[in-house]
Structure 1
Amino acid sequence: MQTPPSLLFKPLAAALFSTLVLAACSGGQQTPAAGQGGGAPTVGIVTVQPQAVELTTELPGRTSPYLIAEVRPQVTGIVKKRAFREGSEVKAGELLYQIDPATYQAAQDSAKASLARAEANLYTARLKAERYADLARINAVSKQANDDTIAALKQAEADVAAARAAVDKARIDLEFTRVSAPIPGRIGRSAVTPGALVTANQEGALATVQQLDPIYVDVTQSSTELLALKRNLAGGKLQRAGADAAKVQLVLEDGSVYPAEGKLEFSEVSVDTSTGSVTLRAVFPNPKNELLPGMYVRARFAQGIRQDAVLVPHAGVSRDARGNAVAMVVNGESKVEARMVKAERSLSDKWVVSEGLVAGDRVIVEGLQKVRAGAQVQVQDVVAAAPAAAPAKAN
């Protein structure tokens, strides 16, 4: 049976009606792709202007104790008492350990008795020598007998001297049973407890005392940079802190600046032949023991003020295949130029550019991925190159 023609046209009419309805709802709007034209892209720029900035140099380093002493016993014996708390501050001469003094007290008493006996023998020998000297003058005794009494007197004097030395030795050994702090500072953990046997001048230390106020900071740099630092110090570009010393600030691991100022010594340095670097030593006050041995820090030296520094945000400087610094600049015809520059230092989030840019240059910092050299662009100011508060460091 054939289908009536009217039924064949109904689906086609429905599809046409749906298309017309969608077109009416769209209101004739174009798709985003249709709306895109071939106009010049917009880029964000900063206009550079010379300005005064403070330049500094930062060197990596680590803290180390000003003084360090390993405590070892100088006599053998049993530890009777430990007189300090681990991690506490101790003073020079403060008792740390008490070694059993009984045997050393007895040795001192014996030495004193030997000295008394020697002094008594000396007294007898002196009297005999005096009598024999009188008798020898009248030839009442032989010359040999007189010589023998003189020799006996000298022997007795030597015995007294030896006995006194023995007493001193016994006294020193007895004093060494009191193991005292050799320097002031913070003492670490104890390697022994009461009841332990220790020996004179043993290899292992009983404890270690470190003086942390003041504290050293050892920094490293190349020998060429050291020569430049010395020239800047001699020329007055570095602030002096005494003869052959420069003022220095300390930047801690968390980026904060240590509140106290130190000084960097330039004396007694040597070059490491394998690396060509030198180690310099700075001294900082540390009254609150905020600085601990082994901390990683950065030493910062003020090198003076540069009056005509050109600052460019980091985003405005890239590197070519050869590693040269390049800035994309918009010229007076609103076209992009690739400009070779010399990025001398990093200053916070900006580069200090010493060559390649002049006052008024418009450097692209946003939209670099959309342009190339010679392209026509539209510009939009992003931010002015304001003076940075953070110090500069060598690139």
Structure 2
Amino acid sequence: MTGRRLLLPLFLSLALAACSDSGQQSAGGGAAGGAPERPPQPVSFVAMKKAEQPITAVLPGRASAFQSAEIRPRVTGEIKEIAFKQGSEVKAGDLLYKIEDSTYAAEVAQAEATVAKAQASIPSAQANLARYERLVNSGATQIEFENARVTLLQAEADVAQANAALKAAQINLELTEIRAPFDGVTSISNVSIGNIVTANQTNALTTLRRIDPIYIDLIDSSANLLELRSSLESGKLSGDPRKADIRLALEDGTEYPTTGKLDMADMSVSETTGTYQIRALFDNPRDIILPGMYVRATVTLGNLNGYLIPQRAATRNARGELSAKFITADNKVETRIFAKSSVSNNNWLVTEGINEGDRLIVDGFQWIGDGATVQPVEATVDERGFVVEAPKAEADKPAADDSAVEKAADKPADRP
């Protein structure tokens, strides 16, 4: 019984020692054969460079005709001819409509006859006045002389009145031909041949529009106007917005090939929307832009010295502040907040919080947090700010590594 008591503790101690050795071996084997630590995640970055960049504003707008006229008749009559092709271009002076003119031609003939009758009475009135002028001192009274002079003046007035009536009749005859007041494009005709039209009627016969050049009416907030004036007065913003180039994006997103110029800015602000209107002028030789078309205009307001942050590399926090992630000197991630930023084409422009050469993460930042260690890969961003392109040296590395792996795979394994 005593021997059994002595053997039991000895057995337990041996068992504990064996378990301890087994745990150590197991731990050692896990360290040797387990998965290695996860390597730093590669992220693309661009080096920050300070330079003078354009400050831009993207504004909504609509196109409107450079000139527009609703064509209406100025005399009454029947439409005898429609001389233009609807929706086509016409030149100034081209015939658009022809109104029946027989009545107006007769009025011209009648007025011409009245003029001839009035002119016929002048020679006799002149001769009568001359006769009384010779006899005024030898038997003719002064009253008879004055009456002869008044008769001549009345005859001359009758001629002038008849000529005025003739001119009015000729104008009415000319107005039976309705012509284009300027170069432009016609709309659909609202009347047909045989319709009766009246002088200065409410409904237009057609509408003529000149769309080359064409106006673009833009809308901006009064707050932006005040900020722009403040920047110009402080000297932070250089350039003259009145001479700025304006670029357009059409409804389908395509860029209009021609830049425009500022034509005017309204000197009042809407009481309901707090906005004011800007009008730009664009050449439109191919009639790509049509009146009423919606567009987005990028207006260059001036130039500012600062750093560009591509829009794809930045986000906004809950307070609306711009934030972006950078790589520190020890290849760790940090987030920076920028209280003030401006728009520069497809980028944000900041003037504070960045130093020359700082590394901005432009791709891969969505899955990493502050303090994480990363593997920096230098890259470039194209003009639109959408595509990140790795340099050729970096792009060639994977190909070399793949080739080495393939060669290692082709090499026969050493036999035991």
Common fold, TM-score beyond 0.5? yes
Residue 275, structure 1, aligned to residue 270, structure 2: no
Percentage identity across paired residues of the two chains: 37
If the length of structure 2 is used for normalisation, what is the TM-score? 0.73
SS at match of 2:188: coil
**C-alpha deviation, 1:239, in angstroms:** 6.9
Q: Deviations over 1:27-55 (max 9, x none)?
A: xxxxxxxx899968847453542254742
Which residue of structure 1 aligns with residue 260 of structure 2?
Answer: 262
Which residue of structure 1 aligns with residue 105 of structure 2?
Answer: 105
Contact 2:40 2:375 in 1 (8 A): no
Residues 165 and 220 of structure 1, relative CA distance in 2, 3 Å threshold? same
Which residue of structure 2 aligns with residue 146 of structure 1?
Answer: 145
Equivalent positions of 1:77-156 (< 5 A) are 77-139=77-139, 141-156=140-155
Q: Deviations over 1:229-269 (max 9, x none)?
A: 677699894478xxx54333333233333222322134664
CA distance, structure 2, for counterparts of residue 223 and residue 238 of structure 1 = 20
**C-alpha deviation, 1:328, in angstroms:** 4.4
Contact 1:52 1:387 in 2 (8 A): no
Which residue of structure 2 aligns with residue 67 of structure 1?
Answer: 67
Contact 1:81 1:97 in 2 (8 A): yes
CA distance, structure 1, for counterparts of residue 360 and residue 257 of structure 2 = 39
SS at match of 2:48: coil
**C-alpha deviation, 1:274, in angstroms:** 3.0
Equivalent positions of 1:105-254 (< 5 A) are 105-139=105-139, 141-226=140-225, 237-238=238-239, 245-254=243-252
Which residue of structure 1 aligns with residue 384 of structure 2?
Answer: 390
Residues 303 and 73 of structure 1, relative CA distance in 2, 3 Å threshold? closer
Paired amino acid for 1:203: T
Residues 172 and 233 of structure 1, relative CA distance in 2, 3 Å threshold? farther
SS at match of 1:122: helix
Contact 2:79 2:194 in 1 (8 A): yes
CA distance, structure 2, for counterparts of residue 267 and residue 353 of structure 1 = 28
Q: Which runs of 5+ in 1 are unaligned?
A: 1-34
Residues 342 and 110 of structure 1, relative CA distance in 2, 3 Å threshold? same
Residues 312 and 104 of structure 1, relative CA distance in 2, 3 Å threshold? closer
Residues 92 and 350 of structure 1, relative CA distance in 2, 3 Å threshold? closer
Contact 2:42 2:375 in 1 (8 A): yes
- Name which of 337, 340, 353 aligns with 2:337: 340
Q: Deviations over 1:330-361 (max 9, x none)?
A: 54566654432347245676544443344334
**C-alpha deviation, 1:118, in angstroms:** 0.9
How many equivalent residue pairs? 349
Q: Deviations over 1:271-328 (max 9, x none)?
A: 32333322122112222212211122233334566665142553x4333333333334
Residues 260 and 293 of structure 1, relative CA distance in 2, 3 Å threshold? same
Residues 336 and 56 of structure 1, relative CA distance in 2, 3 Å threshold? closer
Contact 2:63 2:217 in 1 (8 A): yes
Which residue of structure 1 aligns with residue 396 of structure 2?
Answer: none
Between 98-107 and 295-304, report the one with greater CA deviation.
295-304
Kindly indicate which of the two structures has a greater share of residues assigned to helix.
2
If the length of structure 1 is used for normalisation, what is the TM-score? 0.76
**C-alpha deviation, 1:147, in angstroms:** 2.2
Which residue of structure 2 aligns with residue 323 of structure 1?
Answer: 320
CA distance, structure 2, for counterparts of residue 331 and residue 238 of structure 1 = 36
Contact 2:324 2:360 in 1 (8 A): no
CA distance, structure 1, for counterparts of residue 246 and residue 315 of structure 2 = 32
Contact 1:326 1:338 in 2 (8 A): yes
Paired amino acid for 2:289: L
Contact 2:133 2:145 in 1 (8 A): yes
**C-alpha deviation, 1:365, in angstroms:** 4.7
Equivalent positions of 1:285-296 (< 5 A) are 285-296=283-294
Paired amino acid for 2:182: I
Between 37-46 and 111-120, report the one with greater CA deviation.
37-46
RMSD of aligned C-alpha atoms? 3.4
**C-alpha deviation, 1:111, in angstroms:** 0.6
CA distance, structure 2, for counterparts of residue 280 and residue 181 of structure 1 = 29
SS at match of 2:271: coil
CA distance, structure 2, for counterparts of residue 283 and residue 320 of structure 1 = 38
Paired amino acid for 2:92: A
